[in-house]
Structure 1
Amino acid sequence: MDKLAINGGEPVRDELLTYGKQSIDDDDIQAVVDVLKGDFLTTGPYVKEFENKIAEYVGAKYAVAVSNGTAGLHMACYAAGITEGDEVIVSSLTFAASSNAVLYCGGTPIFADIDPLTYNIDVKDIEKKITDKTKAIIPVDFTGQSVDMDAIKVLAEKHDLVIIEDAAHALGSEYKGEKVGSQADMVEFSFHPVKPITTAEGGIVTTNNEDYYEKMMEFRTHGITRDPDKLKVDHGPWYYEQQTLGYNYRLTDVQSALGTSQLSKLNNFIERRRGIVGMYNKALKDIEEITTPYEAEFSNSGWHIYVIKLNTEKLNVSRKEVFEALYAENIGVNVHYLPVYLHPYYEELGYEKGLCPKAEALYENIITLPLHPNMTNDDVKDVVDAMNKVLDYYRK
């Protein structure tokens, strides 16, 4: 048996393979340079072009680009009218942004547990947690796999709720043969460097609802409008009015040009991600110490991340030791995510352990393996070899 790198042995790789990474080529760089040489750096034509192309790609009528994905969720919560006294049912196994956006608007996040197969929000648990105060649902497409949107829509229509889909992981993913991005009332995407495409930082919200669209357009620009039809008075062509309290959540032309260039390669990125997942699944599916990801029939994921579950009852160590051993082999693993309400800030708000037992149990045993379009087949082999090396050592 090979000696683990963490115990002084030779690592599988000489250099760290990160769990996620942007894929930037000369076309992307040139797109940014062209903007830098032009007349507009921000609030120019490239923003609108990027919005139009995203809307067209996902099959939505409107898109509003913003400075980051969290800003997009905040904007969507504002457009939905979430305010003090409102409850919003949110995913528990995710990044804090979706529930934070509810707090920004004065609402109360109500955390729902996960489906033990997909790790997405459990629709049955959503239904249990709906009250007279519930205003909206924010489901997350965890790892890129679409939530069961039709089932969520049934609940939303029954109780007159707004659906804000957190699709930060899911640009390019499909639900029942259609691109994610047009099924919910509003759908948020993220363009952080590890996401399907990047604008360095950035986000966008798509919608088919004109009222939501207009509210979001004002919200991202201080609550200001120049629309002559909306002005209370009109002093001339220079005139604008702040009519609500908005934020400066604008995306720049520089970022939008990068995003437009990236979008032209998205389908290739997704194809490569799916190819890597296929190799992982084939190589890892028969290892008893881990469970590979499950994908529902209605979903065709773009695979933002690849999350395995350790069957720790078959190991003589916990997830922590496996994680550290893999990292010592230069495999840049990660963990997604600590259930949001277990963060100290949320504990101070009164949320307690035991709220979503399935999410809590899963968290203790999950590891995210490297997955990004830059990975070669040799990189994939290194990950698999390191997994086998570590699990062989820690197997009961």
Structure 2
Amino acid sequence: MILPYGRQTIEDDDIAAVVAALKADFLTTGPTVGAFETAFAAKVGAVHAVACSNGTAALHLAMLALELKPGDAVVVPAITFLATANCARYVGAEVVFADVDPTTGLMTPQTLRAALARATRPVRAVLPVHLRGEVCELPALAAIAAEAGAVLVEDAAHAVGSRATFDGQGNTVGDGRHGVMATFSFHPVKTIATAEGGMVATGDAALAERLRAFRSHGMTRPPGAEPWVYEMAEPGFNYRLPDVLCALGLSQLAKLDRFVARRRALADAYAEALAPLAPAVRLAARPPWSDPALHLLTVLIDFAAAGRTRAEVVEALRLRGVGSQVHYIPVHRQPYYAARYGDLDLPGADAWYARCLSLPLYPGMADEDVAKVAAALKDALS
């Protein structure tokens, strides 16, 4: 059996929670949705949390809630999943790609300023991505965004449970201290899973109201109206998350601290096991303020020095029972964006992509699996 780079951890109580939801009166649009939202908001320290069908829907809803439109621009790091950039295009806005630190993969204050300097349209939003669960330098990014007349929306798909300390003050990703919204994903490889699912956390009641309307076709119920009456001021989408999946989310959320602790313990074991492979292999860097709930265990490999291509290493690992993945191909290199914005020079993103490889990391791994991965990587590079 191959160790995958990530996978869900589903236990008997998770199954029982789903079975109970299947036996309840509501399979969707029922009370379990609100219960999951309330519990999630409390966990991350948010005022409001709005559940939706997946992490991409969460990003799209955030752009809709901000009323972005054609002629506006959004700054997105070049190293991220496609959805972070695509959500701007869904509403007709243009994407301005920011470079990243080549050792962390994160947008930095310097790369944000450089992106803003290249913008040819008003930038309405900045979307830092907490890649791998590592937290971006939020206070500085928020201040720079505000100077440009933009708001900060955190793409926290990787960062459920991540924390950071700025100026001696700790905060949890999603608590709203720096961003107007934070979007999360509950895909099976993420820290907690609902099969598919997403959440938008915000401290703004008006934004929360718009998010809820847009996730359900744009429908609202006028105050005092009859129970069957609804109005649609503008079209929305069917981005609802069913009660059955929210029941799974509630069960998983109760285990978040345990899952995070296990991921951190495995990451510490990796640091020790991979140390003999330095300098050809090193763990992606951790910013000093970041206290991550690691979603990915990413190493940076000098493939040229090892005399191996990444494809050769990936195949050699596979033959030894170890799965791996690449996070990510720079989005500005994708054919659609390259045709739209040209050949951008973002050396940090290119350097990250040239070296990155994600190794297995999930709570169900055994301690000896880390040693197996390290030995397989050593063999693959030999």
* TM-score band, normalised by shorter chain: over 0.9
* Residue among 69, 74, 83 paired with 1:83: 69
* Matched letter for residue 305 of structure 2: K
Cα distance, 1:251 vs structure 2? 0.3
1:371 maps to 361
1:329 maps to 320
SS of the residue aligned with 2:228?
Answer: coil
Distance (whole Å) between structure 2 residues aligned to residue 370 and residue 322 of structure 1: 14
1:253 maps to 243
Q: Does 1:304 align with 2:290?
A: no
Cα distance, 1:328 vs structure 2? 1.4
Cα distance, 1:347 vs structure 2? 2.6
1:287-321 CA-partner distances (Å, limit 9, x unpaired): 22112121111100111001111112421122221
Q: Does 1:120 align with 2:84?
A: no
* Residue among 184, 196, 199 paired with 1:204: 199
Aligned length: 372
Q: Does 1:270 align with 2:260?
A: yes
Q: Does 1:180 align with 2:145?
A: no
1:11-70 CA-partner distances (Å, limit 9, x unpaired): xxxx21111010001100010000111100000000000000110000010000000000
Cα pair 2:77 2:129 within 8 Å, conserved: yes
Cα distance, 1:156 vs structure 2? 2.0
Residue correspondence of structure 1 range 29-178 to structure 2 within 5 A: 29-130=15-116, 131=119, 133-176=122-165, 177-178=170-171
Structure 1 residue runs without a partner (length 5+): 1-14
Cα pair 2:103 2:352 within 8 Å, conserved: no
Cα distance, 1:286 vs structure 2? 3.6
Distance (whole Å) between structure 2 residues aligned to residue 190 and residue 148 of structure 1: 21
**Percent identity of equivalent pairs:** 42
SS of the residue aligned with 1:32?
Answer: helix
Cα distance, 1:116 vs structure 2? 2.4
1:206-256 CA-partner distances (Å, limit 9, x unpaired): 000111111101000000001416xxxx4x332111111100000000000
Distance (whole Å) between structure 2 residues aligned to residue 227 and residue 256 of structure 1: 27
SS of the residue aligned with 2:249?
Answer: helix
Cα distance, 1:385 vs structure 2? 1.1
* Matched letter for residue 60 of structure 1: A
Q: Does 1:228 align with 2:223?
A: yes
Cα pair 1:319 1:366 within 8 Å, conserved: no
Cα distance, 1:148 vs structure 2? 0.4
Residue correspondence of structure 1 range 276-295 to structure 2 within 5 A: 276-287=266-277, 288-295=279-286
Moved more, 48-57 or 322-331: 322-331
Structure 2 residue runs without a partner (length 5+): none
Look at both structures and tell me which one has the larger radius of gyration over its CA atoms.
1
Distance (whole Å) between structure 2 residues aligned to residue 224 and residue 29 of structure 1: 33
1:194 maps to 189
Cα distance, 1:344 vs structure 2? 2.1
Moved over 6 A (4+): none
* Residue among 221, 226, 234 paired with 1:244: 234
What do you get for the CA RMSD once the two structures are aligned?
Answer: 1.2
